[in-house]
Structure 1
Amino acid sequence: MLRTRRLMSGLLIAIAGYCGSLPARGEEPDGAAPRRLYLDEFRPQPALKVPLHPLTRAKFPCVNVHFHPGRLSAEELDEALGVMDQANIAVSVSLDGLTGSRFADHLQLLREGRPDRFVAFVRMDYIGDGDANDPATWDVHAPDFGLRMADRLTEAVRNGACGLKLLKDLGLMIRDREGRLIAPDDSRFDAVWQRAGELGIPVLWHCADPVAFFHPIDERNERWEELFRRPDWSFHRGDFPSHDELIEARKRVIARHPETRFICAHFADIPEDLARLSRDLDELPNMFVEFAARISEIGRQPFTARDFFLRHQDRILFGTDGVPPMTELIPHFQMLETRDEYFPYEDDPFPPQGLWNIYGLDLPDDVLRQVYFENAARLIPGVRDALARYGERHPEFAAVLRQSRSPARWESDIREFEEQDRQSPPRPGGVLFTGSSSVRMWNLEESFPGRGYVNRGFGGCEASDVAHFARRIVLPHRPATIACYAGDNDLASGKSPQQIADDFLRFVRIVRESLPETRIIYLPVKPSASRWGLYPKQVATNALIAAACADDPLLETVDLATPLLGSDGRPDAALFLDDRLHLSPAGYALWTQRLLPLLDSPASR
């Protein structure tokens, strides 16, 4: 021990003698001799020479699901649109919509002159009719807050909202009347999560901050530079919950509401522990992630991150946070698409999140497609149609949309159905509905009370997807009757009526291999104002499949399309939601009335 102390003392004396007198903070060195640096002055420039491929444009048009234009003027929004065009961002999702009339104003600003480039989420409203400056008056304290917020959410969806956004204030800032922080899994919010599921919209949730923000701001904190500049960002003080407590509380909410889809912002606030995040995704099929403002964490673990993207390719969405300039978008594409080594994650001379560089993941095209746009298109209402309209003006993207897409993008939905079947084993001989969102959004228990009809509709699927997954989500139920709706999204993605008919008949053959006596009812592609330009192809698709039904006593169809047209021959707006695509309660009531005689026949009982 004494020898060690003497050696250390000698080393310190030698260093001091070598350094000589130390200049004052801020004094410019002459470069001839070392000087003591303050940590926030240390800016090492890599001497490493490796090939780099900075990309200014995504390989596929993408959907930015984490966009904050709330304070932008119309002129600034147009500037942001210019950056989107340069970077190949087809659609951005605003997370800044507020409840009530403010949402309509926000949506109008976004879509004025640019109707197909933006969709919007609405934020949780804790204040309601209370005084913003007096938290004691806030609506969140009311016993019926959950139901009131659920109704505000319903109103927002009628006005065009595509999802619900939660900030980290739930769990870290919102307090009850006694001054205690309200936990993310507080039961007062259950009605809100349930309503989101019933409305078919996702919840995008920012639950915590980087784990380093919950650690002491000391010599061991890897984000000391960031917290030194912004100590108010630290949650290592006061009565704040731990990072782990917040993550586990959110996990309990997601588990309690399996019918609601949750998109967890910033890689679920645990990009530092992808093994844990992978386990959570495996356990919670209704959980998804986006990586806004987290490429610095993802890109510094390229092998682990690449494996994660490949394993969970159908659960990851592209996001940037804010309205980044082109210089900040470049490393996003560089990380996802290249094999580049050791490049900066941002052009800021003061790295905002840590003194490290990142690496490329070199993801394959089928994964890039899902991350860039396919996952968002199936999870977020309105995105698929916005992309289709974008494709009308960009033929090169229309061709991408028409390309065959991997059914793997629905894997999480299918695993969710399989988990439901494990928890509640299927009973043979019943009625099963399957198909795209027109089935998924159909409340069968409300329309057909007490009959126990099974809903196996998923996302914005196509007929080929229904055929692909039939053995996993249909055959285990051994239903006496299957009602199948598919073809709507197929036409929107550019498929022909004959392709759709062929895919539907392939589904029929797969069912008949195991269930030769099962009756299959084809629910025809519905006309809608949103896709009115496709109406002739919808009619042709329905006619082809109706002809096939005529030759098979166990294959039937019922006209659910014509009754949706008004006296003017166009879709009756009263039968559709405000998105002009999906049915309203009145529309489903009409379908129920038309379909009930078939379902009441002996084969369906």
Structure 2
Amino acid sequence: MKRIGFWLAVCCHVLAVASVATASAANRIVLPEHPTPDQRADIEQRLNDWPLLARYAKDNAAYPPPKPGEKRVVFMGDSITDFWGRPIGEFFPGHGYINRGISGQTTPQMLVRFRADVIALKPEVVVILAGTNDIAGNTGASSLEMIEDNLASMTELARAHGIRVVLASLLPVNDDVVKDQTSRRPPATIRALNAWIREYAAREQLVFIDYYAAMVDAHGALRKELSDDGLHPNAAGYKVMAPLSQKAIDSAFDSGNR
């Protein structure tokens, strides 16, 4: 506990100084100099479990092995996956798909927990939607190459364990409600990453879901009726995404590629 307290104090001091020195930085992390007990607990949790392996640990331990003939699918992602709910059955009736999204996460965090939250569950297919929070700098600055490397590493881990991979494009964003969405997630950067995901999926013979094309308006922004905050899909948005996901999952099973 002394060690945690020491590093907590160091982190708070450094970040407090950095927040003043970089007051104009769009993606800075700002922590109070004297955190409340709740804030302190949150900081300690992040220091002790950065990838949030604890989030699904009990659920994973209790999850039964696949039944003979079961077409098990795991959805891996951030809040856009997380907010689909558990189970995802409302949007996929008749399918017991497993949701392993965690709000706010970036691809390096997902890569660390990929074995526990995907491979250990022994799915036939994994659907990966990730990268928007990397662009936003949620866990520090990330280049496109860093995001691409993490997506490729998750793909390689899955294929090494006989899991078929579905890669999804990032959604567009808009500034209609939250004004900083496009500054934190520049549309040009989203398009560049999506172009790489499409090309990588084609090169590696993976199934690709183009959520972006289905949800973008004529101005390159997320269609207003599909989101309440310009970032996350609302119910109408998920209704657009669900059939695209199901078609991709069906294609993955039909392809036979692992």
Tell me the TM-score normalised to structure 1 length.
Answer: 0.33
Structural mapping, 1:205-604, within 5 Å: 267=37, 289-290=38-39, 316-317=41-42, 370=43, 408-411=49-52, 414-427=53-66, 429-443=71-85, 444-493=88-137, 494-515=141-162, 518-529=163-174, 530-533=180-183, 534-553=186-205, 555-577=206-228, 579-601=229-251, 603=253
Deviation at 1:464, TM superposition (A): 1.6
Per-residue deviation, residues 199-228 of structure 1 (Å, max 9, x unmatched) = xxxxxxxxxxxxxxxxxxxxxxxxxxxxxx
**Count of residue pairs the alignment pairs up:** 220
Q: Decide whether the 8 Å contact of 1:407 with 1:468 is kept in 2.
A: no
User: Following the alignment from structure 2 to structure 1, what is the Cα–Cα distance between the partners of residues 80 and 173?
Assistant: 12
Q: Decide whether the 8 Å contact of 2:166 with 2:249 is kept in 1.
A: no
1:460 match: secondary structure: coil
Q: Decide whether the 8 Å contact of 1:497 with 1:538 is kept in 2.
A: no
The alpha-carbon distance between structure 1 residues 602 and 59, as it changes in their structure 2 partners (threshold 3 A), is closer
Q: Does 1:60 align with 2:60?
A: no
Per-residue deviation, residues 303-360 of structure 1 (Å, max 9, x unmatched) = xxxxxxxxxxxxx23xxxxxxxxxxxxxxxxxxxxxxxxxxxxxxxxxxxxxxxxxxx
Q: Decide whether the 8 Å contact of 1:463 with 1:504 is kept in 2.
A: yes
1:409 match: secondary structure: coil
User: Following the alignment from structure 1 to structure 2, what is the Cα–Cα distance between the partners of residues 512 and 491?
Assistant: 26
Structure 2: runs of 5 or more not aligned: 1-9, 175-179
User: Following the alignment from structure 2 to structure 1, what is the Cα–Cα distance between the partners of residues 31 and 250?
Assistant: 44
User: Following the alignment from structure 1 to structure 2, what is the Cα–Cα distance between the partners of residues 510 and 559?
Assistant: 23
Per-residue deviation, residues 522-544 of structure 1 (Å, max 9, x unmatched) = 11111112532411111111111
The alpha-carbon distance between structure 1 residues 61 and 489, as it changes in their structure 2 partners (threshold 3 A), is farther
Per-residue deviation, residues 252-295 of structure 1 (Å, max 9, x unmatched) = xxxxxxxxxxxxx974xxxxxxxxxxxxxxxxxxxxx445xxxx
Deviation at 1:421, TM superposition (A): 2.2
User: Following the alignment from structure 2 to structure 1, what is the Cα–Cα distance between the partners of residues 29 and 187?
Assistant: 29
User: Following the alignment from structure 1 to structure 2, what is the Cα–Cα distance between the partners of residues 467 and 478?
Assistant: 16
Q: Decide whether the 8 Å contact of 2:15 with 2:30 is kept in 1.
A: no
User: Following the alignment from structure 1 to structure 2, what is the Cα–Cα distance between the partners of residues 495 and 417?
Assistant: 26
Matched letter for residue 239 of structure 2 = A
Per-residue deviation, residues 56-91 of structure 1 (Å, max 9, x unmatched) = x832049xxxxxxxxxxxxxxxxxxx9xx8xx9947
Deviation at 1:552, TM superposition (A): 2.1
Matched letter for residue 131 of structure 2 = G
1:60 match: secondary structure: helix
The alpha-carbon distance between structure 1 residues 89 and 509, as it changes in their structure 2 partners (threshold 3 A), is closer
User: Following the alignment from structure 1 to structure 2, what is the Cα–Cα distance between the partners of residues 409 and 520?
Assistant: 25
Q: Decide whether the 8 Å contact of 2:158 with 2:164 is kept in 1.
A: no
1:593 match: secondary structure: helix
Matched letter for residue 523 of structure 1 = A
The alpha-carbon distance between structure 1 residues 531 and 266, as it changes in their structure 2 partners (threshold 3 A), is closer
The alpha-carbon distance between structure 1 residues 61 and 604, as it changes in their structure 2 partners (threshold 3 A), is farther
Deviation at 1:426, TM superposition (A): 4.0
Q: Decide whether the 8 Å contact of 1:481 with 1:604 is kept in 2.
A: no
Deviation at 1:478, TM superposition (A): 1.4
Greater gyration radius: 1
Deviation at 1:521, TM superposition (A): 0.8
The alpha-carbon distance between structure 1 residues 446 and 475, as it changes in their structure 2 partners (threshold 3 A), is same
Structure 1: runs of 5 or more not aligned: 1-54, 63-81, 93-264, 268-288, 292-315, 318-369, 376-405
The alpha-carbon distance between structure 1 residues 604 and 454, as it changes in their structure 2 partners (threshold 3 A), is farther
Q: Decide whether the 8 Å contact of 1:430 with 1:604 is kept in 2.
A: no
Matched letter for residue 472 of structure 1 = A
